[in-house]
Structure 1
Amino acid sequence: MSFLKSLFGRKDAKPATPAGPLKTIEYKGFTIHATPFPEGGQQQLSGLIEKEIDGEVKSHRFIRADRFPGADEAADFAIVKARQLIDEQGERLFK
């Protein structure tokens, strides 16, 4: 029976979600949270960009297809990607 379960997957398995930011930095007035999560035996690149605008905290979540063997590598690259997004789009990220 366990062979069939491994072959067809378990229906009660929940998708992986980030437990919280692994790294957080400030960049050009934005706060970047690196939030990689396990996927397929590796770490999926994911992050959150936040900025307070007119007294309201705006946020933009991003997930990329990139996967890494470790969470630290995924977090470092999430910071790089977030900086790139901020440099290219700035506050337009929140529109």
Structure 2
Amino acid sequence: MALFSKLFGKSEPTMPEAEQHEGFSITPQSVKEGGQYRLTALIEKDGKSHMLIRADHFASADEANAAAVAKAKMLIDQLGDGLF
């Protein structure tokens, strides 16, 4: 089955794990658009959530997810609970 997935591009990317920062939970959720991936992440704390969506595009989902976590941490450091 894995062979056919590789041949026909049907493999599902694994969902990255949530990362904790300053009491917030950051879950990167890169979105495939064309041949690239958009920087997107879900930021949560105490039942509140904020969807971070940027115009930045990357060649791979891993790159987009890493950048999303870095951007979310910067946003949390700057705004804290004011993010919600």
TM-score, reference length from structure 2: 0.80
Asked which structure has the greater CA Rg, the reply is 1
Aligned length: 72
1:70 aligns with 2:64: no
Partner of 2:83: 93
User: Which runs of 5 or more structure 2 residues have no equivalent in the other structure?
Assistant: 1-12
Superposed CA RMSD: 1.6
Partner of 2:24: 30
SS at match of 1:23: coil
Partner of 1:41: 35
Give distance in 1, aligned partners of 2:64 and 2:17: 10
Partner of 2:71: 81
Relative distance call for 1:93 and 1:51 in structure 2 (3 A) is same
Give distance in 1, aligned partners of 2:75 and 2:15: 18
Give distance in 2, aligned partners of 1:84 and 1:58: 18
Alpha-carbon offset, residue 70 of structure 1: 0.4
TM-score, reference length from structure 1: 0.71
Partner of 2:49: 59
User: Which runs of 5 or more structure 1 residues have no equivalent in the other structure?
Assistant: 1-18
Give distance in 2, aligned partners of 1:62 and 1:20: 20
Give distance in 1, aligned partners of 2:83 and 2:39: 18
